[in-house]
Amino acid sequence: MSRPSRPWTAMALVLVLLAGGAGLLLRTQWLTDAPALRNRALADAEATSRVAAEVGGALTRVFSYGPGDTATTRRTAHHLLDGKAARQYQALFGQVEQRAARQRLTLTTHVVRAGVTRLDDHEAHLLVFLDQVAQRAGKPATTVAAQLSVVAEQRDGRWRIVDIRSR
């Protein structure tokens, strides 16, 4: 009876080790390339706070107006909104301006909470909870809660809102 030769056994062992090493290398690449690792919202508290504050402040400014200062709100929106968000805002705000003057309507928006769900060097996705207080002349104020999904892009060191969706 002949015994298996040692070179074949050694070669088989080397192949198994190489295959195992290649598998571990692929698994390591997959883990280090996971989207969660690229999401700065999970690791960079300072950048996350900064974008939440800037976008929250922008939302407060573009969704707050009085019957005599809608032009100021419109100009502010021009500087803080872009893309789809700017187009939606322009389409709706014309109606709001007429109603605000006619009903002597004041709307005050407060960001209750803004959470950044995804953040990279150029784009941020946020979930924002708002309280909006509407006051019409001679009537009691009413408060309505709103929840928005917001996308902002960083341009020239500032975050500009490019998409707003009601949730």
pLDDT given for residue 30 in this prediction: 58
> At 14, which amino acid appears?
V
- Whether pLDDT at 32 is above 80: no
- Tell me, yes or no, if the pTM score tops 0.85: no
Structure token pair of residue 142 = 């009413």
Per-residue pLDDT, 153: 97
Which residues span the domain enclosing 121? 43-166
Q: List the alpha helices (DSSP H) in the chain.
A: 6-32, 35-38, 45-62, 70-80, 83-103
Claim to verify: residue 125 and residue 89 sit in the same structural domain: yes
pLDDT band per the 50, 70, 90 thresholds, residue 10: confident
Based on the domain organization, do 19 and 65 belong to the same domain?
no
pLDDT number for residue 35: 63
Exposed, middle or buried: residue 23 (CB in 10 Å: 0-12, 13-18, 19+)? exposed
Same-domain check for residues 11 and 51: no
Least confident of 4-18, 26-40, 83-97, 121-135: 26-40
* Residues 22 and 98 grouped into a single domain: no
Supply the pLDDT for residue 141.
93
Angle at 32 between CA 30 and CA 33, to 5 degrees: 65
CA distance linking residue 158 with residue 154, whole number of Å: 5
DSSP 110-129: EEEEEEEEEE-SSEEEEEEE
Mean pLDDT of the chain: 87
Please state, in angstroms and rounded to a whole number, the distance separating the CA atoms of residues 163 and 166. Answer: 10
Q: Are residues 25 and 51 in the same domain?
A: no
Residues 161 and 87 in one domain: yes
| Position 74 in a domain | yes
| 48 and 84 both lie in a single domain | yes
**34, pLDDT greater than 70:** no
- When divided into structural domains, the chain yields a total of 2
Verify that 74 and 152 share a domain, yes or no.
yes
Q: Is residue 128 part of a domain?
A: yes
**Same domain membership, residue 48 and residue 110:** yes
CATH number of the domain within which 153 lies: 3.10.450.50
133 with 52, same domain: the answer is yes
Q: Does residue 38 lie in a domain region? A: no
103-141 pLDDT, tens digit each: 888 999 999 999 999 999 899 999 999 999 999 888 999
Same domain, 24 and 48: no
Indicate the angle between helix axes 83-103 and 70-80, nearest 10 degrees: 170
pLDDT of the residue at 148: 96
The residue that leads in pLDDT, 36 or 2, is 36
- Tell me the per-residue pLDDT of 35-67, one tens digit each, with 9 for 90 and over: 666 788 888 999 999 999 999 999 999 999 988
Q: Are residues 58 and 1 in the same domain?
A: no
